[in-house]
Structure 1
Amino acid sequence: MPDAPLTPPSCDDLDPDTAAFYRQVLEILDDTGVSFLVGGAYAFACCTGIERQTKDLDLFLRRADYERAARALRAAGYRTDMAYPHWLAKVYAGKESKEFIDLIFNSGNGVTEVDDDWFRHAGEVPLLGRRVKVSPVEEMLWSKAFIMERERYDGADVAHLLRARAGDIDWHRLLDRFGAHWRVLFSHLVLFGFIYPDERNLMPGWVMRRLSDRLRLEEETPAPQDKVCEGTLLSRQQYLSDVEEQGYQDGRVVPHGNMSEEEIALWTEAIPERRSTP
């Protein structure tokens, strides 16, 4: 858990009915014994103090716990929907309601699976009259760093998290989380020094040197010949021409990534411009 205190997020802008819905879902999951973490805008506010309006509540849980959670929620009268089996489900306040909560157990690219470490390093804050655990800053950075879509880029969130929490981050653990995707982390750390030139020293020197050494070592070794495009881990749309027309292997697909062809097809079909018209 971070050494610096977390800032409890404000719920002042929530409609009373929405707040009641959120509160009851949290209570149901607690009573059912399903471990969950609050993420998204609420967790971001806890770590940075930056609050923004959000259309829903993001809860992170293990994939193995989803069915138990869904049964309990349906028994309470809520509607659940497994939107994308590899990473996201939703629970709606009612049959016709547009109010929903996201139940998240991975990322859209299949990289950031919710596992025990998410819970082991979680913080805790009051929310809607309850004590809840919130996503660790390392996992927030890990998941946000890959979001580089045309319509959404989370680089500013990454920079704000780094500025607010640099002294609390377990950098060894963060490096382990990124693993073979260390270039994605390095790119954000380098960009941080551009965004906040007066605070670039917040990025630990040993981390920058370690990643610089990795880059230098790569330059001294032959490049792989697999013709893989890992841009699909950053954007589900912008690199489709590479895998569909240019003959590149999709970096999301086993054995390069963690997703199946079927999961990718479903996720690709959900791109607004690609949805089939009735």
Structure 2
Amino acid sequence: MNTLLPPPNSSQPVIDPTGRAFYRHGLTLLNDAKVPFLVGGAYALECYTGISRHTKDLDIFVKPGDRDRIIGILVNAGYQADVTYPHWLAKAYYGEYFIDIIFSSGNGICMVDDAWFENACRRDILGVPVLLCPIEEIIWSKSFVLERERYDGADIAHILRVCADRLNWTRLMDRFGAYWRVLLSHLILFGFIYPAERGRIPDWVMHRLLALLADEIRGAPPSERLCQGTLLSREQYLTDVMRWGYEDARLQPTGRMSHENIAHWTAAIDIKD
């Protein structure tokens, strides 16, 4: 169990009494039922960086096999709940407030597994003792959120600025695996954002990732026309797969999503124009 955290901050995201009571009750119910879960989102970000963000949701991360049990616990307590997206997300509601029950990621890559729990940190959230998502998994999952309307790169830069010396860099690189270019891109941006802080990234990490890049440059490009942009945005690369003939990297067997998953995820896009 990882217990290395920055010193605790006295502030937590501002929330009114109704939302606070709902979240405290939900967390207490899950603790009492001894069902494993982790707290992420704005509450974890505040614990790791001190940045408070007012939200009307609480993110909990669970293993896929525990999803329905958690939904049942919250429904039995009188809350509404549904499986919003079968490949990664369920929700429980109380008025305008909701608990996101996350068991993977929108692109299907960052599935919650035992390692999330083995490397979690303990902390009180809203006065309830919980486990926080590990820093490595937060960086991993946020690195792929590069939508036009939501970009999590700033969160990653802030986490690295505060927590770089606490990271298990080997484990983080293992999480990215074949998607190491995504990690490298965020680390390069970190050095641009914070020139005086770039030494926080270990030299050996940059050398290893740049060596992978050099090897890739020396090799021939793959012959298959694959678009991995869909792993970064569910909307911005639809033209590539729908009109330009690229294969969707989310789709099985390359990715973890089915045609039905992708269709459902795409249909939910808020078309503003």
What's the TM-score once normalised by structure 1's chain length?
0.95
Superposed counterparts of 1:13-52, under 5 Å: 13-52=14-53
Superposed counterparts of 1:75-114, under 5 Å: 75-93=76-94, 97-114=95-112
Contact 2:147 2:234 in 1 (8 A): yes
CA distance in 2, matches of 1:2, 1:253: 37
Match of 1:262 among 246, 250, 260: 260
* Alpha-carbon offset, residue 17 of structure 1: 1.5
Q: Which residue of 1 aligns with 2:236?
A: 238
Give the alignment's Cα RMSD to 1 decimal. Answer: 1.5
* Alpha-carbon offset, residue 11 of structure 1: 4.2
What per-residue deviation string (whole Å, max 9, x for no partner) do you get for residues 109-161 of structure 1?
Answer: 00100111111101111122211111110000000111110001111001001
CA distance in 2, matches of 1:237, 1:13: 31
Stretches of structure 1 lacking an aligned partner (at least 5 in a row): none
Contact 1:6 1:125 in 2 (8 A): no
What per-residue deviation string (whole Å, max 9, x for no partner) do you get for residues 30-85 of structure 1?
Answer: 12221111100110111111111112110111110011111111111111111001
Q: Which residue of 1 aligns with 2:189?
A: 191
* Alpha-carbon offset, residue 223 of structure 1: 1.1
Q: Which residue of 2 aligns with 1:142?
A: 140
Contact 2:3 2:122 in 1 (8 A): no
What per-residue deviation string (whole Å, max 9, x for no partner) do you get for residues 216-244 of structure 1?
Answer: 00111111111000000000000000000
Decide which moves more: 230-239 or 15-24: 15-24
Aligned to 2:31, the other structure's residue is in SS state helix
CA distance in 2, matches of 1:58, 1:20: 15
Structure-2 change in CA distance of 1:219 and 1:2 (3 Å):
farther
CA distance in 1, matches of 2:172, 2:24: 32
What per-residue deviation string (whole Å, max 9, x for no partner) do you get for residues 163-199 of structure 1?
Answer: 1000000000000000000000000001111000011
Decide which moves more: 260-269 or 10-19: 10-19
CA distance in 2, matches of 1:89, 1:133: 19
CA distance in 1, matches of 2:99, 2:55: 11
Q: Percent identity?
A: 53
Stretches of structure 2 lacking an aligned partner (at least 5 in a row): none
Contact 1:9 1:42 in 2 (8 A): no
Runs of 4+ displaced beyond 4 Å = none
Superposed counterparts of 1:110-259, under 5 Å: 110-259=108-257
Aligned to 1:166, the other structure's residue is in SS state helix
Aligned to 2:146, the other structure's residue is in SS state coil
* Alpha-carbon offset, residue 13 of structure 1: 2.4
Contact 2:19 2:56 in 1 (8 A): no
Contact 1:22 1:57 in 2 (8 A): yes
* Alpha-carbon offset, residue 28 of structure 1: 1.1
Aligned to 2:271, the other structure's residue is in SS state helix
**AA aligned opposite 1:119:** F
